[in-house]
Structure 1
Amino acid sequence: MAELNKEENVAQEDQLEETLENQESAEVEEELVDDQPEEDKDESLEAKYQQLEAEKTELFEKYLRLQAEYDNYRKRTQREKAADLTYKSQKLATELLPVIDNFERALQTSSDDEAVKSFFEGMEMIYRNLLTVLEAEGIEVIPAVGEAFDPTMHQAVMQVQDDQYDSNIVVEELQKGYRLKDRVLRPAMVKVNQ
């Protein structure tokens, strides 16, 4: 039993010596760190702070750019949707313009026959209904005769010399022009006074 106590004491002494050595080495390391000048510590902390500040600024700028791009995208899609709704009937109207022209040409013919007159009256009713539907969609005839020539709405195909009209005034309309709200679907073909 005495031998066991002796061995335990030796083990405890070894453990105590090891703990003391560890404490001493830690104290020496602390002294070495403490021996560094305060200025070096401040400079390294300042450098780390400046680096973190620069990273934060860069990330914030990226965030602002991303937010601005998203806002621009959102506004652009809203404008496109609004334009699509405003001009949704443009394609249909463009395709119907030759049909309207043909209706007008057919209605310009005349006949004394009673059966043909009733047929023309039916065609005229259909024509008026078609124009009413187009007007409901915002499609209207571009005014021409007697108006000042506007190259955005009129296409001059001839020039004439007429003393009854002022210069640059539309004298005759050769083909009707149409617009959808503020967009010209087809300019009016006109004769213009010089």
Structure 2
Amino acid sequence: METNDKNEQQNPNLPPTEKSAEDVLNEIEKESAENVTSEESISINEPAHEEHSEGLLGKIGLGKKDKHHKKELQELKEKVADLNDKNLRLLAEFDNFRKRNAKERLELLKSAGQDVLQTILPTFDDFERALQLMEKATDVVAVRDGVALIYNKLKSTLESRGLKQFDSVGEIFDAEKHEAITEVPAASEDMKGKVVAEIEKGYMLNDKIIRYAKVVVGK
């Protein structure tokens, strides 16, 4: 053996001798150990790979959610803008309606008595003609009758418009209808607290008091 080893060392160009069985077994064990180490390394790194993959998937999912939320936010902004526009239009329309209504009411107030005045004008013309006749008239009775006709005509015209005169003499004093000017001793016991005289007549328009009767009350 020593001779062979020496020959190998002295002549490196010679082919190597065959490996022993022990050497072969050692090499197999070494390769097996290396394979096991490689597999363990791979298995150790698998969780890290899984976490990395999950992280990427999570980011992709978050990206999709962000896009969805941005879309919803944009839709909400558009709806809010549309509602604001509608509200502004409604406010403008209401303002125009309010101004138009105020103008119509003002015009109505200005012309409220126009119809009534138009019905009174003929009576007013009668008064003018009566005054002209009075300057030359000598018959007092005829003048009085003419004035009475004009008075009744005016009264009928006003009554046709809802005006009504109410009597107060002999009625129990009512603060809702009467305005007491003064009190005088009653002529009889049953006239105490009642209207004994009327200074100005009271008037109602469609059952509403528009002028209290000025009266004298017995006490």
TM-score computed with the length of structure 1 as normaliser: 0.45
Larger RCO (CA under 8 A, 6+ residues apart): 1
Q: TM-score, normalised by structure 2?
A: 0.41
